[in-house]
Amino acid sequence: MELAKTHTEIRVAGGKLPPIPLPTNCPGCGVALDSDVLRKHGYVCDCGHHFRLGADAWIALVADRGSWKERWGDVRSHDLLNWKVPKPYQATIDQLTEEGLNEAVRTGTCTLGGRTIWLATFDFRFVGGTLSIVAGERLARGMEQAAASGLPYVLIAASGGARMQEGVLALMQLAKVNAAVGRLHAAGVAYFSVLTDPTFGGTAASLALLADINIAEPGAAIGFTGPRVIKQATYADLPPGFQSAEFQLAHGQVDMVVPRTELRRLLAHLLEMYP
C-alpha cells in the first residue's frame, strides 16, 4: 500500500474534529499553531508532532460520518472502595462527568469505509485513560459481541494503566480483557490496535499489544513503567528514544508506525485484507 506523503490527503470521513485545547506553539517545532488548519490535519503539525485526542475526536476520525452507535454508555463508574487520596474518587468522577466526559473507554459500533466494525477508544482525559471496572466491562462486552458476530474490532489506546482508585478490581480487568481478546482470536475475528501517546501500564501489558496488528502513532510513548521510574530502580542509562513508538518498532513490540493522517486509509485497507 502506498502511503500518502502529505497531510492534505487525510480522510476524516466523520467530518470536522471537535476543538481541543492547544498550546500557542507546537512543542515539536516551536511554530505558532493555527487551530483551524491543525484541526483539518487531524491535529498533526507539519513537523509531525501528533497532539493527543480525546475519545470524541477519535470516533470522528475513525468512524464514517453518522455511523457511530455507542454501547453501554450508561454503565458508569462509582467509588466502591471509599477512596480519598489525593482527592475523593467520587468527586473526580463527578467533575469529569460534569465536563462531558464518559469514562476512560468508550465503545460501540460504526462503519469504516462502509464496513461495520466494533470500535473502542480510550480517553486520556478521564483519570489518565485508566483501565477501570467499567472500562474493562465495556471492552470485554464489545469483544465478546465481535467474536460472536464476526465483526472486526479496532482499539485506540491511550492510557496510564490500571485505575489505582479501584484497587485490585481494576487489576482484574487485565485478565478479563485478555480473556476477551482470546475469544476474538479463537473466533478468527480481526483485531487491530492503535497505540497513541501515551500507552502504559496495565493497558500496554494487556489488550493494547495483543492485536493481530499493533499500530503505533509516530512519537508515541509506549511501555509498562515510565523511564524515570526504570532509571531510579536500575540506575541504568536508558538509550536515546527509549519507549518511543519508533524504538518499540525497532525492538519488535509494535508492527508498524503510521501517521494519523494515514490511519483511516490503512485500517480500511487492512479490513479489506481480512475476510
For Zn ion, the binding residues (CB under 5 A) are: 26, 28-29, 45, 47, 49
Residue closer to Zn ion (CB basis): 37 or 256: 37
In whole angstroms, give the CA distance from residue 11 to residue 15: 9
Q: Is there a contact between 258 and 217 (Cβ–Cβ < 8 Å)?
A: yes
Nearest Cα neighbor of 142 from 117, 173, 111 is 117
111 burial class (0-12, 13-18, 19+ CB within 10 angstroms)? middle
Q: Which strands make up the sheet holding 153-159, listed edge to edge? A: 69-71, 105-112, 115-122, 153-159, 191-199, 213-216, 256-257
Question: Whole-number minimum distance, CB 217 to Zn ion, in Å?
Answer: 15
- The set of cell numbers assigned to 97 is 462527568
Taking the least distance from each CB to Zn ion, the nearer of 47 and 175 is: 47
Shortest spacing between CB 46 and Zn ion, in angstroms: 6
Which residue lies nearer to Zn ion by CB, 246 or 255?
246
Q: Residue 169 CB, nearest distance to Zn ion (Å)? A: 41
Give whichever of 23 and 86 is closer to Zn ion, judged by the CB atom. Answer: 23
Dist. CA 72–CA 29, nearest whole Å: 40
DSSP-based three-state secondary structure for 253: coil
- Residue entry with cell 536500575: 234
The minimum distance between CB 74 and Zn ion, in angstroms, equals: 39
Q: Which is nearer to Zn ion, 113 or 218 (CB)?
A: 218
Cβ at position 210, least distance to Zn ion in Å: 32
